[in-house]
Amino acid sequence: MKVLVIGSGGREHALVQALADSPQVDSVLAAPGNPGMVEAQCLGVKADDISGLLQLVETEGVDFTVVGPEAPLVAGIVDTFTAAGHKIFGASRRAAALEGSKAYTKDFLKKYRIPTADYATFTSLTEALKYLQENADREWVVKIDGLAAGKGVFVTRNFQDTQDTLEKLFSEKPFGDQAVVLEEFLDGEELSFMVLCDGERALPLASSQDHKRLGDGDAGPNTGGMGAYSPAPLVTPDLHEKIMNRIVGPTLKGMAEEGSPFKGILYAGVMVVAGEPLVLEFNVRFGDPEAQVILPRLASDWMELFLAAEAGRLDQVQPRWKNDSAVVIVLAAAGYPEAPRKGDVISGLDNVAETAGVKIFHAGTARTNEQFVTAGGRVLGVTALGPDLKQAVQAAYGAVDKIQFSGMQFRSDIAQRGLNRLKTLANKS
């Protein structure tokens, strides 16, 4: 079977590796891919060039396509491929609105009584400031309605910061002419809960948590994600059941009633407040960097799961997970996230290439004069598996210590929250 992976980041590199390991897959193509994807043949078609991707599939005789990023899903690539008779894994255009529009999602959650924070949506600064003034005693998170590459969420908390953020978004329009959602701040712990869907059924994947802030202790600006770990000790059997029954089940039922049955990856960003889960947002694809810890933890065949989801027969498969824990540390370029610097030479990759249990996922790299150089904000994801979370963390940071490039940024506390929770549980037992 010839498989195409659409996208070019660390998530897509993890997908390429996972599919290349499948006994059902003969070859993997990536579009556009990146120079670090040695397991695939990378072709120069951009992820948002739907017509070009369709032509590529037909020219290359691709049997199955897996979509990595959200933009082509929101643009309707699944609808286009399906209409042309090609098998593709991902959400339809209408179903992808769960990520494509924060306002749509909040309205959907309210309609189907799925737990989430209070909110209001605005298209003008005057209306937004009037509402803010009327609710001055509350803490808010400001969200851009549409896609913003993981950078459209602003945790403002106090009145002045919220007002300043609203004024900047409506006057400068850094994300274009988009509506803005004011969402009540929830004080809890966030987790990433992903399920594989076939339109009717949902198959939960391994739990994970990521780290969105740039600096240690959750300091600094929001990013696309600076690291993640799996499994997440926060997800107890009781919490897992609550999320499946109160969020995932009603969402699949609601999407079917809306005439948009959900196939693909449904990623619920969940805030846990006093043991109760509330939806922060939905994504319609694997998280990045969460994919870099979830994908390597599967002991069975990812291709089998993707085929079953696309064909509507998830009831016929059952994933088998490794007992290992996994941790990914993101190495970011100088200046990230505001103005990432490009062209810095990366050294040390050969030093970790053969390290047992360690995988290097390329995200923002290029090849110049036979050397890898930085070419994006998040440059590399260093993933390590270990028999427990502590040993996975040690292995990941041990590998990070061998890699260097000028201005390299990374957090030194990835998975610390999970380790603290495990320590607390051990002390109680």
User: Consecutive 10-residue runs of the chain (429 residues): their mean pLDDT?
Assistant: 98 98 98 97 96 98 98 98 98 97 95 96 92 91 84 85 91 86 93 97 97 94 94 96 98 97 97 96 97 98 98 96 98 96 96 88 95 97 97 97 97 96 85
Residue 222: what pLDDT? 85
At a CB cut-off of 8 Å and minimum separation 6, what does 248 contact? Answer: 193, 195, 202, 204, 266, 268
Give dist(CA 110, CA 126) in Å, integer: 25
At a CB cut-off of 8 Å and minimum separation 6, what does 367 contact? Answer: 35, 373
Each residue of 329-359: pLDDT tens digit? 999 999 999 999 999 999 999 989 778 899 9
Whose tokens are 């040993």? That residue is: 391
Residue 200: what pLDDT? 95
Residue 147: what pLDDT? 85
User: What is the pTM for the complete model shown?
Assistant: 0.94
Each residue of 247-272: pLDDT tens digit? 999 999 999 999 999 999 999 999 99
Q: Domain segments of the chain: what residues?
A: 2-92, 118-184, 324-429
Residue 175: what pLDDT? 85
CATH domain 324-429 topology:
Glycinamide Ribonucleotide Synthetase; Chain A, domain 4 (3.90.600)
Q: In CATH, what class is 2-92?
A: alpha beta
Give dist(CA 43, CA 366) in Å, integer: 14
* The two domains 2-92 and 118-184 share their CATH topology (first three levels equal): no
- The dotted CATH code for 118-184 is 3.30.1490.20
Residue 152: what pLDDT? 84
Beta strands at 227-230 and 263-273: parallel, antiparallel or unpaired = unpaired
